[in-house]
Each structure stands twice: as structure tokens, then as C-alpha cells.
Amino acid sequence: MAAGTVTFKVTDKSGNTQSVPLPYTTTVPATRYGAFCGYFNKAQNPNETDAQRRARVTAAFGGKLGIERQYPGSGTSAPTTPVGCPTILSWDWNADMAGVVAGNYDSQIIQAAQNLPSDRVIYASPLQHEPWLHINAGDYTLAQYQQAWQRSVPLFRANAPSNVKITLIQDGYTVQGVNSAAWRPIYPGDNMVDVLAWDCYWITGGPRVTADGVYGNCLRETQLKGKEFVVAETSFGAPGPTGGSGWTDSQVTTLTNNAIAYLDGKATFVSWFESNKEDGNWLIEGIHPTAQSAWSTACSR
């Protein structure tokens, strides 16, 4: 809970003033935990259907997910998460920001927004998440992403139901450690984003070995902007393509417990990145059983 006061002041032409203080408090609803249920072609069990993947991961986390992360890519269909299940979505439109700016994806953006259900909270990024990863790789420029955001958000807002929150999903590593301000140039303005979400990974060595090192600057930057705080992805980092991360069950259990203890009452939703794909294996299901149990307990709330 945070306590604040907004003081309004009226001033006349002579400089006489009167003010009125209005105190208030802000509270975060009980933090809800869930997971990404995997979808990549090169993931384990690639022949599973979407429903089978969801059933497997949901069962692995105790039978209930408080939130589910999905990546529609360039698809415009409604999310396949269960009725009422809060959902985090981000579209990438082929990482073609110049095309978005040119209006080449307008009809798809509108269709995707119109197909969203109104029965659940939806955190929607109309553009690719983790933009800095792609900007730094030269996939597109900061200016192109900014322009694409300015074009896509009004289209999205005008066509989405009112339960949809426009969500900028940032790479947590851009603020973790010393340079908490590094992400700020991409901020599109208070009226162009409802929620700030972050993808946050624990890394052995360096600043990302504690909960505050992993989430702290993300939280503080979000609070500075006065926005809702969501963790769209979290897991241990850099596991390598064969899953040879070196993380033990004990270490991952400590990680998950520390994450939950830190994020409770601060984030509204937290999603575990439960996936194995071509560049790494982030699964805890069946690999880190004690950590899996800890996350299941959090999901069951």
C-alpha cells in the first residue's frame, strides 16, 4: 500500500493562494501467478495441441493458472486461454515496424482487437515485446518502434473491449543493475500506455542474483510512471539450448520463493516462462520439482 496526497491550489492574479489537500492510498490486489504454456515448434512435445499444452502445464502447476502468457505473432484470432483467465498478449507483425508505420497491418491490428473477449482482464501489447532486444540487434530502430506504437495503439484502443489494458512489455535487463533509466526513451507517454510489464530473468553472477536485483528497478521505474506493474515473463536465465543451465532444484526453489516473497503485493500478475525452445530450456516441470511445487502453491491462490 502506498499513501499519497494530492494538493490542489488556486491562485489569483495578485498571487493570493488557497489550497486543499486530498489524501489517498493505493493498494495492489493479491498478486496472481501463472505461466506461459509453450508454443514453439521446436519445443518439447511439438506435436501437442494448444489445449494439450495448456492442460499439461496447468496440471503441472496445481490445476490453476492465475494468468497465462500468449504470443499471437501476427495472428488475429481470439486468445485460447480459458474463459475468465487473465491473459498477456503481444503481437509482432513479423517484426515489421516500418510496415506497421506504413499502415500495412492496420486491418490485422483492428481485427485482433475486435476479436478479444470481454470476459477477462487482457494485457495487450499491440507491438512486439522486448523491443530493445530487437532494436539492439538492428531489426528495427527506436524511432520506428515509437512511430509504430503511436499508430497501432489508437487503432487498438478504438476496437478493443474496455477490459483490455495497453501494455508496454519491456526487457527487464535494460534496467536491471545500474542503468535504470536506459529504457525510458521508448516510453510513449502516459496516455499511450496503461500498464508497464517486464520480462525478468535471474542470472548467476552480476546484479541479477537477488529479487531486488531482478525486479527492483522494473518496479521503481513503473512506480515513477504511476502505472500498474506486471511481470510478463520470469525464470532463470541463459539455460542454453540443451537446458544445461547448471541451476539445481535447490537454487531454482530459492529463486521462486524469493520472487514470490518480493512480488507479493507489488505486481498484479506474474507469469513463469515455462518453455523449452530452440535456444534454451526454462521448464521447471519435471526438472525442478521443489520449485515446481512452490510455484504451484502461488498459482493456487
| C-beta closer to another protein: residue 111 or 223 | 223
CA-to-CA distance for 39 and 60, rounded, in angstroms? 16
If phi > 0 it is left, if psi is from -120 to 50 it is alpha, else beta; for residue 185 that is alpha
Mapped onto helix, strand or coil, the DSSP state of residue 153 is: helix
| C-beta closer to another protein: residue 22 or 83 | 22
Please name which of 170, 125, 116, 123 lies closest in space to residue 152, comparing C-alpha atoms: 125
| C-beta closer to another protein: residue 240 or 265 | 265
Contact in structure between 109 and 152 (CB atoms under 8 Å)? yes
CA-to-CA distance for 183 and 133, rounded, in angstroms? 11
CB of 43 to another protein, least distance (A): 32
CB of 124 to another protein, least distance (A): 14
CB of 194 to another protein, least distance (A): 7
Residue with the three cell numbers 526487457: 171
CB of 2 to another protein, least distance (A): 6
| C-beta closer to another protein: residue 21 or 138 | 21
The total number of residues shown for the chain amounts to 301
CB of 81 to another protein, least distance (A): 20
| C-beta closer to another protein: residue 18 or 41 | 18
| C-beta closer to another protein: residue 18 or 47 | 18
Instruction: Please count the other Cβ atoms lying within 10 Å of the Cβ belonging to residue 118.
Output: 10
CB of 45 to another protein, least distance (A): 36
Contacts of 141 (CB under 8 A, 6+ apart): 97, 135
Instruction: Please count the other Cβ atoms lying within 10 Å of the Cβ belonging to residue 177.
Output: 16
| C-beta closer to another protein: residue 200 or 230 | 230
Amino acid at 90: S
CB of 192 to another protein, least distance (A): 13
| C-beta closer to another protein: residue 228 or 274 | 228
CB of 232 to another protein, least distance (A): 15
Contact in structure between 176 and 208 (CB atoms under 8 Å)? yes
Maximum distance among all Cα pairs of the chain, rounded to whole angstroms: 76
Binding residues for another protein, per CB under 8 A?
2, 4-14, 16-20, 22-29, 165, 190, 194-195, 223-224, 226-229, 268
Contacts of 230 (CB under 8 A, 6+ apart): 88, 123, 167, 195, 196, 197, 198, 267, 268, 269, 270
CA-to-CA distance for 66 and 63, rounded, in angstroms? 10
